[in-house]
Amino acid sequence: MAKTKQVNAAAETPADKKNRLMAEGKIALAEYTARADAVDKNTQRLRALRLAKEAADREAALLNPPPEKPKRKTASKK
């Protein structure tokens, strides 16, 4: 089986090799851009969710302020 690969590789002309490498490169670039687009889309979705949550938290804080902490009495000096 190793001999058939060597024979096929030796029978491949430089033009064939160049064409094969160009095709592999186009496929790799397409996969790379598809992954990058998916990451960008997910980043935009997560950013929108985070901004919506922060806005809701700000609104909730304005409507329901946290209770004030009770003031402690200081010890009297003797």
Residues 55-75 pLDDT 10s: 999 999 888 887 888 888 777
* Domain tally, the chain: 1
Would you say residue 53 lies in a domain?
A: yes
pLDDT band at 23 (very low <50, low <70, confident <90, very high): very high
Give φ, ψ of 71 to 5 degrees.
Answer: -80, 140
Cα of 34 vs its chain's centroid, Å: 12
- Asked if the model's pLDDT at residue 1 lies above 90, the reply is no
Would you say residue 56 lies in a domain?
A: yes
Helices and strands (DSSP H and E) totals, the chain: 2, 0
pTM, rounded to two decimals: 0.56
Residue 59 belongs to domain spanning: 2-63
